[in-house]
Amino acid sequence: MSYAQSRSAKASSNLEELYNLFSRGQELMVTATTASTNDSGRAAITAELSNIRIVANELINETDFQGTPVFDVGTSTAIPVSRGINLQVVGTREQVSTGINVAGTAMSIDDILANAIAAVSTGTDAERSAALDGLRKGLDHVINQQTSQGVRGDRLDTAKDRLVEVNLTLSERRSVLEDTDLTETLASVQSKLTTLQAAQAVFAKINQQTLFDLIR
């Protein structure tokens, strides 16, 4: 459970950083589309967008010190968090970074940022406007991925609460057993055994009697 929650938390953190990057990219693109932005201003925006693209790729493809990716590759790995319960705790790189519908074309986060850089540095006003729309769609996509990751985190929290509840119940039962007065319990068991033996003896004696014995 601890491992699953640590992976979920890291994925949430990276998605939050991606959200911040796209929010900043959108701000930069709005500035780039204004008529007052000169060549030097667009050069500065291009440089910052290029850095955003680098960091975004690092966040998407990041691995931990053991080489485990923050976002699974291909399919999400189901982690056993309780008996019979396996949960997918992070999304895949493909889910996070690709499949973004921009004007009817499926694009990746890297594609969107690359288009924005090209539109600012050498593009026309129409291309910059299209790039701004792409950044907005990219931001919406990241928000959707944050929502999905939040659902995964909620499932983990629910599973953890169940584990805590089961642990408390077991602890209470163990405490009751450990606090049992052994002498008193043995005396009670012995008394019940004596009563049982007496009842069995009476039952056996009754079974030995015939119908004529009962009539007499």
How does pLDDT run across 12-47, given as a tens digit for each residue?
A: 999 999 999 999 999 999 999 887 888 899 999 999
| In the predicted structure, residue 200 carries a pLDDT above the cut 80 | no
Residue 174 has pLDDT above 80, yes or no: no
Phi, psi of 84 (to 5 degrees): 80, 5
Closest CA to 147 of 96, 102, 97, 113: 96
Position 162 confidence tier, pLDDT thresholds 50, 70, 90:
confident
pLDDT of residue 79: 87
Residue for token digits 């319990």? 185
| Calpha distance 68→93 (Å, rounded) | 13
Alpha helix stretches (DSSP H) within the chain? 2-32, 39-61, 93-97, 109-122, 125-178, 182-208, 211-215
Residue 3 has pLDDT above 80, yes or no: yes
pLDDT at site 74: 92
CB atoms within 10 A of CB 99: 11
Q: Per the structure block, which two tokens stand in for 173?
A: 């039962």
Tell me the per-residue pLDDT of 111-139, one tens digit each, with 9 for 90 and over: 999 999 999 999 899 999 999 999 999 99
Q: What is the pLDDT of residues 141-155, one digit of tens each?
A: 999 999 999 999 998
What type of residue sits at position 52?
A: I
Cβ proximity of 90 and 82 under 8 Å: no
Check whether 164 has a pLDDT greater than 70. no
Summarize pLDDT for 33-87 with one digit per residue, the tens: 887 888 899 999 999 999 999 999 999 999 988 899 999 999 988 888 877 788 8
Rounded Cα distance, 57 and 96, in Å: 11
The fraction of the chain above a pLDDT of 70, given in percent, is 85
Enumerate the β-bridge partners of residue 102: 105
Looking at residue 169, what is its pLDDT? Answer: 59
pLDDT for res 194: 84
What pLDDT score does 160 carry? 77
Give the residue-averaged pLDDT of 178-184: 70
Does residue 215 surpass a pLDDT of 70?
no
Q: Distances from the Cα of 98 to the Cαs of 31, 57, 101, 121, in angstroms?
A: 26, 12, 9, 24
pLDDT tier at 207 (50, 70, 90 boundaries)? Answer: low
